[in-house]
């Protein structure tokens, strides 16, 4: 349904070029839940914002790639068509709802605006539908809340309003960028439950960006792991956790404690995430990788099949403990 | 003071702990002891700045911290964790209640005597970006506490800085650089070096890893654990990351709206939580394992956390508690030991059944 190939985005800043996204390929299937995990700065947000051309240009620049959605390339489409796709067929939810909600408009007005922009709903239809949507995302006293301004709502309530707006035009895809990171854990659990429920009801495809490997474990069908502006591994959720192939994924999973297990030792990934200021040469994980060998420093590993629907970008065959055959 | 005297004071009718445990617990030396501690921030209004109310950030908490242990303090945003840490260290003045350190009553200690105690109690902050002065070199940041408390001359301070830098995994070559030249994890190491410079006994770690990348969190936590072993440190480890607290803590206290609602040994708290809030909190934390997640019973709490300026009467949790009954809305549940040093404040929890 959505197919991204060779997407690369740079930022041209006074201090030099930031190579934020360096050639990304992935697809999103009908109705699936795709988790995107990676550390701060790995390029998760820039990837998704680039798709909808939401990055500031300049300094941002999409240097290559295509993003086919329903037969059209989002990166080539003219702006008026793209505007219809945004918020229409593709809904967006951001980490901080305060930055995307308009502080001077009531909740009802904001949902209504979006409905009127993308459908030819009348004011009355829009009102009725807004009410339905608020009820759908579990907001109590929906009637009252339509008249509320964003600052009168708690963080969890605001995020629900964002979800309601994203759902307003029955999109085929929702892209959620760290939608629960700023929320308390019991409120996060409420939002996750709503999303789970809505997926079952509406069958919308979801891209969920997070750095929390726990959240993704319980929600996703497939997972993409990003590092240094690239996808380093992609697999069905069960396979990724049971049999991670990329040394970074493996290290990450071994470095996080679990609520359901007694104090086990935490493994560490030494060193720090890569600087994106230099054009990447070789594998960007090499300085931190215990398996690195000569080739890793010069050749950039591409995503390669390592199992059923499972791809990793690594020169080392971790299963057989030897360099991967030439690919 | 031991945990037994806590039960005498605050937990009428609590069952005596088993004899083995009593001996074990009596052996442990209490380093920090907090009783009935409150911190209310006044809310002022109008031209005459009249007080119109108060934020009850901490509203009567009692607990001990044993020498050499890590006490985890968990709870959601605004529950009063940081304020509790700051009041213990006298960075905020208590509204009511007491906090003692090594037998010294802190709430009555001021001026020079407090200054003399300071080196023994330190704090590590959440944000390694804002807690370090950007215009000072790493060496002068770490040397600051040494100079302030007149520890050694320039030469011995220099040596101590190098020693501290290697202790936290940085190179002495880094001494003359500025904070912005370091990553978040490295900056947190600098903050840790400064905190241990004066050989403290007690360190309040306030969300020390919250601002760090996942792959860096383990580095810092392992460092804190190593330093604890090496230097015999006692930690109050404040965090909203329940999984990390399970990893690092010996005992854990759970805070909600200014109250500690449960405190127990780490395994008891996670494997056999008694308070309905602790149970809900545990069930809300995702586990990084799709197999476990698929089979999990989820208990979703309704509603939001009430405002600490207007907490509900009775049990503070009653507006969201799935088990709340009539008396929960009027009577404050007693904080008591239900056996084995497991403390709970809930009307429905009796003695430990096991
Ligand atoms: N407007 C901008 N100007 C310059 N650099 C930018 C800009 N926006 C993003 N970047 C850089 O692009 C890189 C990727 O950023 P991105 O926001 O995609 O990371 P992320 O994976 O979403 O991280 P986080 O988890 O912190 O949200 C980072 O190095 C970031 O500093
Ligand atoms: N100096 C202050 N003046 C007024 N209110 C304050 C002050 N410091 C804290 N508070 C309030 O006291 C309550 C408890 O705050 P505290 O910072 O202790 O919570 P916390 O548990 O550490 O939360 P977080 O997880 O967000 O750090 C909050 O409602 C907070 O707004
Ligand atoms: S390509 Fe080389 S450096 Fe990169 S992850 Fe694989 S083994 Fe490590
Ligand atoms: S005292 Fe009542 S409201 Fe409070 S936790 Fe226990 S059952 Fe729930
Ligand atoms: Mg982001
Ligand atoms: Mg705090």
- How far is A216 from A33, CA to CA, in rounded Å? 9
pLDDT > 70? residue B294: yes
- Interhelix angle A107-118/A123-136, rounded to 10 degrees, is 120
User: Which residues, including other chains, have CB under 8 Å from residue A260's CB and lie 6 or more apart?
Assistant: B270, B287, B289, B292
| DSSP one-letter string for A47-99 | HHHHHTT-S-TTTEEEEEEEEEETTEETTTS-HHHHHHHBTTTEEEE-S-HHH
- How far is A13 from A18, CA to CA, in rounded Å? 7
Judged by DSSP in three states, A205 sits in strand
Report how many Cβ contacts below 8 Å link chain A to chain B: 129
pLDDT of B7: 40
State the distance from the centre of ligand 3 to the C-alpha of A289, rounded, in angstroms: 6
pLDDT of B350: 79
β-bridge pairing A90-93 and A310-312: unpaired
Neighbours of B291 (CB within 10 A): 13
Confidence of residue B351 (pLDDT cuts 50, 70, 90): low
- Interhelix angle A185-202/B276-284, rounded to 10 degrees, is 50
Q: Are B270 and A253 inside 8 Å of each other by CB?
A: no
Supply the pTM of this predicted model. Answer: 0.89
Q: Are A39 and B215 inside 8 Å of each other by CB?
A: yes
Closest CA to A103 of A139, A156, A163, A151: A151
User: What percentage of chain B exceeds 90 in pLDDT?
Assistant: 61
Closest CA to A48 of A29, A67, A33: A67
Nearest to A215 among B214, B244, B286 (CB): B286
pLDDT > 90? residue A87: no
pLDDT > 90? residue A180: no
Of A269-283, B15-29, B163-177, the range with the lowest mean pLDDT is B15-29
- How far is A183 from A162, CA to CA, in rounded Å? 14
Confidence of residue B26 (pLDDT cuts 50, 70, 90): low
Nearest ligand, CA A226: 1
Residues with CB under 6 A from ligand 1: A 11, 13, 18, 20, 38, 40-46, 56, 59-60, 211, 276
Using CB atoms within 10 Å of the CB of residue B154, give its burial: 0 to 12 exposed, 13 to 18 middle, 19+ buried: exposed
pLDDT of A200: 83
Question: What number is the average pLDDT over the span A215-238?
Answer: 96
pLDDT > 90? residue B5: no
Q: Are A217 and B293 inside 8 Å of each other by CB?
A: yes
pLDDT of B154: 85
Interface test mutation site (partner A, options B129, B213, B215, max chain A beta carbons within 10 A):
B215
pLDDT > 60? residue B244: yes
Do residues B95 and B322 lie in contact, with contact meaning Cβ atoms separated by under 8 Å? no
pLDDT > 90? residue B228: yes
pLDDT of B9: 41
Q: What are the φ/ψ torsions at residue A309 (nearest 5 degrees)?
A: 50, 35
pLDDT > 60? residue B19: no
What letter does residue A154 receive in the DSSP assignment?
-
- How far is B150 from A26, CA to CA, in rounded Å? 60
For the Cβ of B100 lying below 6 angstroms from any atom of ligand 2, the answer is no
Q: Which residue has the tokens 């007693």?
A: B334
CA torsion sign for A70, A73, A77, A79 is positive
Question: What number is the average pLDDT over the span B273-282?
Answer: 96
pLDDT of A132: 85
Residues of B in contact with A232 (CB under 8 A): none
Residue A4 host element (H or E): strand A2-13
Neighbours of B103 (CB within 10 A): 9
- How far is B279 from A183, CA to CA, in rounded Å? 19
User: What percentage of chain B exceeds 70 in pLDDT?
Assistant: 91
Q: Which two tokens stand for residue A253?
A: 């999973």
Residue A99 in contact with partner chain B when CB distance is under 8 A = no
Question: Closest residue (by CA) to atom 17 of ligand 1?
Answer: A45
Q: Are A241 and B290 inside 8 Å of each other by CB?
A: yes
State the distance from the centre of ligand 5 to the C-alpha of B280, rounded, in angstroms: 29
Per-residue pLDDT of B124-150, as tens digits, reads 988 767 778 889 999 999 999 998 888
Judged by DSSP in three states, A327 sits in coil
Residues of B in contact with A260 (CB under 8 A): 270, 287, 289, 292
Q: What are the φ/ψ torsions at residue B170 (nearest 5 degrees)?
A: -110, 165
pLDDT > 70? residue A271: yes
pLDDT > 50? residue B349: yes
Q: Are B246 and A262 inside 8 Å of each other by CB?
A: yes
Q: What are the φ/ψ torsions at residue B223 (nearest 5 degrees)?
A: -60, -45
Q: What are the φ/ψ torsions at residue A248 (nearest 5 degrees)?
A: -70, -45
- How far is B64 from A204, CA to CA, in rounded Å? 51
Q: How far is CA B186 from CA A290, B168, B213, in A?
A: 21, 9, 12
Nearest ligand, CA B321: 4
State the distance from the centre of ligand 4 to the C-alpha of B11, rounded, in angstroms: 17
To the nearest whole number, what is the mean pLDDT of chain A? 89
Confidence of residue A168 (pLDDT cuts 50, 70, 90): confident
β-bridge pairing B70-75 and B251-256: parallel
Query: Of the segments A281-285, B37-41, B149-153, which one has the largest average pLDDT value?
Result: B37-41
Confidence of residue A327 (pLDDT cuts 50, 70, 90): low
Question: Closest residue (by CA) to atom 4 of ligand 4?
Answer: B315
Nearest-Cα distance to chain B for A262, in Å, is: 7
Q: Which two tokens stand for residue A59?
A: 């300094």
pLDDT of A182: 77
Do residues B83 and B308 lie in contact, with contact meaning Cβ atoms separated by under 8 Å? no
pLDDT of A164: 86
Nearest-atom number in ligand 3 for the CA of A296 is 2
To the nearest whole number, what is the mean pLDDT of chain B? 88
Per-residue pLDDT of B171-226, as tens digits, reads 888 888 998 888 788 888 899 999 999 999 999 999 998 888 888 899 889 999 99
Confidence of residue A118 (pLDDT cuts 50, 70, 90): confident
Closest CA to B127 of B205, B225, B70: B205
Nearest ligand, CA B83: 2
Q: What are the φ/ψ torsions at residue B130 (nearest 5 degrees)?
A: -95, -10
pLDDT of B20: 45
What letter does residue A181 receive in the DSSP assignment?
T
Do residues A275 and A287 lie in contact, with contact meaning Cβ atoms separated by under 8 Å? no
ipTM: 0.86
Residues of B in contact with A156 (CB under 8 A): 304
pLDDT of A158: 86
pLDDT of B12: 41
- How far is A282 from A74, CA to CA, in rounded Å? 30
pLDDT > 50? residue A169: yes
Per-residue pLDDT of B264-273, as tens digits, reads 999 999 999 9
- Interhelix angle A155-167/A123-136, rounded to 10 degrees, is 130
Residue A173 host element (H or E): strand A173-177
User: What percentage of chain A exceeds 70 in pLDDT?
Assistant: 98
Interface test mutation site (partner A, options B181, B183, B286, B298, max chain A beta carbons within 10 A):
B286
Residues of A in contact with B298 (CB under 8 A): 189, 193
State the distance from the centre of ligand 5 to the C-alpha of A158, rounded, in angstroms: 19
Q: What is the 3-state secondary structure (H, E, C) of chain B?
A: CCHHHHHHHHCCCCCCCCHHHHHHHHHCCEEEEEEEEEEEEEEEECCCCEEEEEEEEEEEEEEEEECCCEEEEEECCCCCHHHHHHHHCCCCCCCEEEEEECCEEHHHCCHHHHHHHHHHEEEECCCCCCCCCCCCCHHHHHHHHHHHCCCCCHHHHHHHHHHHHHHCCCCHHHHHCCHHHCCHHHHHHHHHHHHHCCCCCEEEEECCCCCCCHHHHHHHHHHHHHHHHHHCCEEEEECCCHHHHHHHCCEEEEEECCEEEEEEEHHHHHHCCCCHHHHHHHHHCCCCCHHHHHCCCCCCCCCCCCCCCCCCCCCCCCCCCCCCCHHHHCCCCCCEECCCCCEECCCCCCCCCC
Question: What number is the average pLDDT over the span B162-171?
Answer: 88
If one residue of A8, A19, A41 were mutated to test the ligand 1 pocket, choosing by the most ligand atoms within 8 A of its CB, it would be: A41
Residue of B nearest to A250 (CA): B215
Residues of A in contact with B247 (CB under 8 A): 257, 263-264, 266
Question: In B, residues 219-238, which contact A (CB 8 Å cutoff)?
Answer: 219, 221-222
pLDDT of B10: 42
pLDDT > 70? residue A248: yes
pLDDT of B122: 93
Confidence of residue A191 (pLDDT cuts 50, 70, 90): confident
Neighbours of A77 (CB within 10 A): 16
Question: What number is the average pLDDT over the span A167-193?
Answer: 86
Nearest to A189 among B243, B267, B298 (CB): B298
Confidence of residue B6 (pLDDT cuts 50, 70, 90): very low
pLDDT of A153: 82
More confident site: A61 or B15? A61
Residues of B in contact with A289 (CB under 8 A): none
pLDDT > 50? residue B109: yes
Residues of B in contact with A270 (CB under 8 A): 219
CA torsion sign for B283, B286, B289, B290 is positive
pLDDT > 90? residue B282: yes
Residue of A nearest to B250 (CA): A263
Q: Are A188 and B284 inside 8 Å of each other by CB?
A: yes
pLDDT of B15: 42
State the distance from the centre of ligand 1 to the C-alpha of A45, rounded, in angstroms: 7
If one residue of A315, A319, A326 were mutated to test the ligand 3 pocket, choosing by the most ligand atoms within 8 A of its CB, it would be: A315
More confident site: B83 or A181? B83
Q: Which two tokens stand for residue A115?
A: 């409905």
pLDDT > 60? residue A145: yes
Confidence of residue A112 (pLDDT cuts 50, 70, 90): confident
Neighbours of A55 (CB within 10 A): 21
Nearest to A266 among B222, B270, B293 (CB): B222
Of A182-191, A318-327, B245-254, B278-287, the range with the lowest mean pLDDT is A318-327
């Amino acid at each position: 349904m959505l197919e991204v190939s060779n997407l690369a985005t740079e930022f041209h800043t006074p201090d030099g070029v930031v190579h934020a996204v360096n050639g990304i390929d992935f697809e999103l299937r009908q109705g699936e839940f795709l988790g995107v995990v990676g550390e701060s700065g790995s390029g998760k947000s820039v990837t998704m914002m680039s798709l909808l051309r939401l990055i500031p240009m300049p300094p941002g620049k999409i240097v290559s790639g295509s993003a086919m959605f329903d037969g059209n390339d989002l990166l080539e489409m003219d702006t008026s068509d793209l505007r219809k796709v945004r918020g229409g067929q593709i809904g967006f939810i951001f980490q901080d709802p305060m930055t995307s909600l308009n502080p001077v408009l009531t909740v009802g007005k904001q949902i209504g605006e979006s409905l009127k922009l993308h459908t030819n709903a009348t004011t009355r239809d829009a009102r009725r539908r807004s009410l339905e949507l608020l009820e759908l995302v579990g907001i109590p006293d929906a009637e009252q809340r339509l008249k509320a301004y964003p600052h009168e709502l708690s963080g969890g309530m605001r995020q629900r309003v964002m979800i309601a707006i994203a759902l307003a035009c029955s999109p085929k895809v929702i892209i959620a960028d760290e939608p629960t990171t700023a929320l308390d854990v019991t409120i996060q659990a409420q939002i996750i439950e709503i999303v789970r429920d809505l997926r079952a009801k509406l069958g919308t495809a979801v891209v969920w960006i997070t750095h929390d490997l726990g959240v993704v474990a319980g929600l996703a069908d497939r997972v993409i792991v990003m590092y240094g502006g690239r996808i380093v591994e992609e697999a069905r959720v069960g396979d990724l956790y049971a049999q991670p192939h990329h040394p970074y994924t493996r290290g990450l999973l071994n470095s996080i404690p679990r609520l359901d297990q007694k104090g086990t030792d935490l493994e560490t990934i030494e060193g720090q995430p890569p600087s994106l200021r230099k054009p990447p040469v070789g594998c960007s994980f090499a300085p931190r990788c215990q398996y690195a060998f000569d080739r890793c420093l010069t050749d950039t590993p591409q995503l390669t099949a390592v199992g059923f629907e499972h791809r990793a970008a690594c020169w080392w065959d971790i299963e057989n403990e030897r360099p991967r055959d030439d690919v | 003071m031991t945990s037994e005297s806590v039960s005498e004071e605050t937990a009428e009718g609590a069952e005596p702990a088993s004899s083995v445990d009593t001996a074990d617990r009596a052996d442990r030396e209490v380093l920090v002891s907090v009783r009935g501690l409150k911190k209310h921030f006044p809310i002022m209004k109008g031209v005459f700045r009249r007080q119109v109310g108060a934020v009850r950030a901490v509203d009567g908490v009692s607990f001990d911290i044993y020498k050499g242990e890590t006490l985890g303090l968990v709870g959601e945003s605004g529950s009063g964790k940081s304020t509790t840490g700051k009041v213990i260290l006298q960075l905020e003045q208590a509204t009511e209640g007491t906090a003692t350190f090594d037998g010294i009553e802190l709430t009555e200690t001021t001026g020079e005597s407090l200054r003399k105690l300071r080196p023994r109690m330190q704090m590590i902050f959440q944000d390694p970006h804002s807690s370090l002065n950007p215009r000072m070199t790493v060496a002068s940041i770490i040397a600051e506490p040494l100079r302030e408390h007149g520890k050694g001359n320039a030469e011995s301070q220099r040596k101590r800085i190098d020693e501290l830098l290697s202790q936290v995994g940085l190179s002495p070559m880094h001494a003359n650089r500025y904070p912005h030249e370091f990553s978040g994890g490295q900056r947190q190491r600098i903050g840790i070096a400064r905190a241990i410079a004066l050989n403290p006994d007690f360190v309040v770690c306030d969300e020390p890893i919250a601002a760090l990348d996942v792959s860096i969190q383990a580095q810092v936590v392992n460092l804190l654990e190593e330093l604890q072993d090496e230097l015999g440190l006692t930690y109050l480890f404040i965090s909203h990351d329940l999984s990390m607290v399970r990893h690092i803590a010996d005992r854990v206290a759970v805070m909600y709206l200014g109250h500690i609602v449960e405190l127990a040994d780490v395994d008891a708290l996670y494997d056999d939580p008694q308070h309905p809030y602790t149970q809900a909190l545990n069930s809300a934390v995702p586990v990084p394992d799709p197999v476990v997640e698929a089979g999990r019973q989820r208990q979703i709490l309704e509603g939001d956390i009430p405002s600490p300026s207007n907490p509900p009467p009775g049990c503070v949790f009653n507006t969201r508690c799935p088990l709340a009954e009539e008396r929960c809305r009027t009577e404050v549940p007693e904080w008591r030991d239900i056996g084995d040093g497991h403390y709970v404040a809930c009307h429905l929890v009796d003695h430990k059944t096991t």
